[in-house]
Amino acid sequence: MKYELIQLPYAPNALEPAISAETLSFHHGKHLAGYVNTLNSLIEGTEYAELPLEELVRKSEGAIFNNAGQLLNHNLYFTQFGPNKGGQPTGKLLDAIVAKWGSFEAFQQEFLTACTTLFGSGWAWLAAKADGELVITKEPNGSNPVVQGLRPLFGVDVWEHAYYLSYQNRRADHVKDLWAIVDWDVVASRY
């Protein structure tokens, strides 16, 4: 199996101002492309070469894990946004959020706290347990909730390359702006 760089389902400037075209160009076209190329070179001819991506993340370690995790994370990340989206989820996902946090706004605040208190680089995730209960996790570096047996639903990249060109050290402002581009239909389909 050879992993490929995903095609973005929107124009390079479609997510502005939350994610600038310049940031998207570097983040997708350089960072993610680098993870794809490195992963393919690391797994070529190994027992990992034919594994589906989530299984590869669960079973690998070291450089393979780092690159596979970042590929999985970014594939989920880039496909959860869209122009003219935002708002809040509906249906079962909203019901589960309200059941867990009391309101969508309370969930947003706790998620923001997870994003801003993760030390260094990594990801904050809304994930689901097997029984459907929602949790927020903070994953260091390239890790993903799948390593804990969870299903990742919505993730925010808090590595500086995801926001620094436009937001510098204002990680919280970036996260707050992301709410306007979340495609909750995509996130709900993962639930």
The DSSP annotation for 92-111 comes to HHHHHHHHHHSSHHHHHHHH
Q: Specify whether the CB–CB gap between 78 and 6 falls below 8 A.
A: yes
pLDDT in the model for residue 173 = 82
Mean pLDDT within 45-64: 94
Mean pLDDT within 66-91: 95
pLDDT digits (tens, 9 = 90+) for 101-114: 999 999 999 999 99
pLDDT in the model for residue 160 = 74
Q: Average model confidence (pLDDT) for the chain?
A: 93
pLDDT in the model for residue 182 = 97
* 91-190 is classed CATH 3.40.50.1110: no
pLDDT digits (tens, 9 = 90+) for 139-153: 999 999 999 999 999
At residue 162, does pLDDT exceed 80? no
pLDDT in the model for residue 174 = 84
At residue 165, does pLDDT exceed 70? no
Sheet hosting strand 134-140, strand order edge to edge = 134-140, 122-128, 151-157
At residue 163, does pLDDT exceed 90? no
What are the beta bridge partners of residue 157?
Answer: 123
Q: Domain ranges in the chain?
A: 21-79, 91-190
Domains 21-79 and 91-190 share a fold: no
In this prediction, what percent of the chain has a pLDDT beyond 70? Answer: 96
pLDDT digits (tens, 9 = 90+) for 9-26: 999 999 999 999 999 998
Tell me 20's DSSP state. -
What are the structure tokens assigned to 167, written together? 């937001």
Q: Specify whether the CB–CB gap between 150 and 181 falls below 8 A.
A: no
* 21-79 is classed CATH 1.10.287.990: yes
pLDDT digits (tens, 9 = 90+) for 126-140: 999 999 999 999 999
pTM for this prediction:
0.93
At residue 51, does pLDDT exceed 90? yes
- The CA–CA distances, whole Å, from 178 to 26, 42, 62, 64, 95 equal 18, 33, 31, 29, 21
- What is the b/e burial string over 116-128, where b = at least 16 CB atoms within 10 angstroms of the residue's CB? eebeeebbbbbbb
- DSSP reduced 3-state for 49: coil
Position 1 confidence tier, pLDDT thresholds 50, 70, 90: low
Mean pLDDT within 37-57: 94
